[in-house]
Chains A and B, each alone.
Chain A
């Protein structure tokens, strides 16, 4: 049997931490910081995900094979999103978006 590292106080602590991070995220979104807001909100989301993964999902007490899947999934998504978003963010020589006049809506 797996030795239980995740105890009831740890679960309660994680829940409170998740709620605090949620309201932190909500609070920063009301400040009107512009583009930085999205970056802060997503960083808080990553922190919340780590709490859920390691405590709620017991990743802290599992074999490395299970952690490897999480690491690989994260890397694949980071690769997918960053390469995809690099296209619209680095367009210099041709229009950044389709011309609406050329293709009238809808």
Chain B
């Protein structure tokens, strides 16, 4: 079984698995730099308009943001448990934990959707669509625009992560993964943890501002 999955360009399975892990870490590094550029933009404009940023982000719901932080951290925990159990060959448990994590991702998106609905209702929209405050100072609009862009980009990553978690859960049940093959499960887990880490930074920047 394990000899079959050795690709011809690798000498040993260990090297093949290391290459897969290294590739995933490099991908995650480039993803982090994508968000890093946005964090730099945030730092620049917050340095330029400190009080306007606080004003713009003041009416974000701290309760909903904190709920989402707890949900994502818990989903990261269940994914980490799933990766732990697939190494021990308990694939049904892994499938259940990954399905649970997908569910947590769904809860996160629902809460985020409730927030977005509030913002749309109040016309706290990005760029020229903004009309929550009459004649807003320029920094307020920049703050709201960055909020929408960064949380929506993060939301897309949540959706991508949920699709991968669900796919791996199904493949675990079908017996594709187990003690003989689990690097793909680990890598999907790594992606989900990255989504969690990005939110760990988005949360204080967009919710704990006042």
Residues of A bordering B, CB below 8 Å: 4, 6-8, 11-12, 14-15, 18-19, 22, 25-26, 29, 37-38, 41-42, 44-45, 48-49, 52-53, 55-58, 62-63, 65-66, 69-70, 72-73, 76-77, 80-81, 84-85, 87-89, 96-98, 100, 105-106
**A15 and B84 form a contact (CB under 8 A):** no
Contact with A along B72-103 (1 / 0, CB 8 A): 01101101110110010000000000000000
Residue of A nearest to B140 (CB): A105
Residues of B bordering A, CB below 8 Å: 18, 21-22, 25-26, 28-29, 32-33, 36-37, 39-41, 43-45, 47-49, 62, 66, 69-70, 73-74, 76-77, 79-81, 83-84, 87, 127-128, 135-139, 141, 186, 189-190, 193, 196-197, 200-201, 203-204, 208-210
CA distance A87 to B19 in the complex (A): 40
**A15 and B83 form a contact (CB under 8 A):** no
Chain B facing A: main interface SS: helix
CA distance A18 to B89 in the complex (A): 27
Q: For residue A55, give the distance in angstroms from its CB to the closest CB of chain B.
A: 7
Contacts of B186 in A (CB 8 A): 58
CA distance A8 to B77 in the complex (A): 10
**B208 and A52 form a contact (CB under 8 A):** no
**A48 and B200 form a contact (CB under 8 A):** yes
**A49 and B21 form a contact (CB under 8 A):** no
Number of residue pairs spanning A and B whose beta carbons lie under 8 angstroms apart: 137
CA distance A63 to B21 in the complex (A): 10
Q: A29-B204, A106-B128 are in contact. Are A77 and B36 (CB under 8 A)?
A: yes
**A56 and B29 form a contact (CB under 8 A):** no
**A84 and B74 form a contact (CB under 8 A):** no
Contacts of A29 in B (CB 8 A): 62, 204, 208, 210
Q: For residue A12, give the distance in angstroms from its CB to the closest CB of chain B.
A: 8
**A97 and B73 form a contact (CB under 8 A):** no
Q: A18-B73, A80-B40 are in contact. Are A26 and B80 (CB under 8 A)?
A: no
